[in-house]
């Protein structure tokens, strides 16, 4: 736990000293009706803003116009619009895949979800933008092609931290040098407990 805490602190100190202007595109499953993924996105944004309030952040969501999508400090980008995504990647300084199990193909969405996130990393490389994977859950992966593509993406990442031992072992099996893999707790674990009033409002 102490080691993961030190790595987590290192991530955000490193973010603080990246070259300016500091414009990030965060891609994940935020805004798609999953409270856990929404919490991860909010915590990532809050941490990055805490290191430097001038940091500019774009976040991919299912519907930017949905009033329930409240992510303070971030500009919302339609994750379903190829043109919006291309513009967002091009205008960013880096692509950040944050939290959750994004690089896997064993969910109900199968290879479609994996292809989506791999396509974003391909766009980032096309525009010469570094790719960061922060507190990533990697796998499960089915099929040689999926393992090859994910391994290639991980090896090319500018920074890679994983949230659990299984993800670290899988990354190593895919050819990532162990020294390049950091351990970091899932961002949602650092959320402060909700107030009783907030809990009541949610239940209502």
| pLDDT value at residue 15 | 55
| pLDDT value at residue 187 | 58
| pLDDT value at residue 81 | 96
For residues 23-55, b (16+ Cβ closer than 10 Å) or e, as one string?
bbbbbbbbbeeeeebbbbbbbbbebbbebeeeb
Q: Tell me the average confidence (pLDDT) per consecutive run of 10 residues in the chain, 204 residues long.
A: 50 52 87 85 89 90 86 94 97 91 90 96 96 94 97 97 95 97 71 50 49
| pLDDT value at residue 94 | 95
């Amino acid at each position: 736990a102490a080691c993961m805490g030190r790595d987590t602190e290192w991530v955000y100190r490193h973010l603080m000293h990246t070259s300016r202007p500091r414009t990030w595109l965060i891609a994940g499953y935020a805004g798609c009706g999953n409270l856990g993924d929404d919490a991860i996105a909010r915590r990532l944004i809050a941490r990055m803003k805490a290191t430097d309030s001038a940091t500019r952040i774009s976040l991919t969501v299912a519907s930017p116009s949905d009033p329930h999508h409240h992510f303070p400090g971030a500009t919302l980008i339609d994750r379903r619009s190829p043109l919006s995504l291309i513009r967002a990647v091009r205008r960013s300084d880096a692509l950040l895949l944050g939290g959750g199990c994004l690089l896997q193909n064993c969910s109900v969405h199968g290879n479609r979800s994996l292809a989506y996130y791999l396509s974003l990393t391909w766009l980032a490389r096309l525009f010469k933008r570094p790719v960061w994977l922060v507190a990533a859950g990697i796998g499960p992966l089915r099929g040689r092609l999926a393992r090859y593509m994910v391994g290639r993406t991980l090896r090319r990442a500018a920074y890679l931290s994983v949230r659990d031992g299984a993800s670290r072992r899988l990354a190593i099996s895919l050819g990532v040098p162990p020294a390049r893999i950091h351990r970091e707790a899932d961002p949602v674990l650092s959320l402060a407990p909700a107030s009783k009033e907030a809990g009541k409002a949610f239940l209502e």
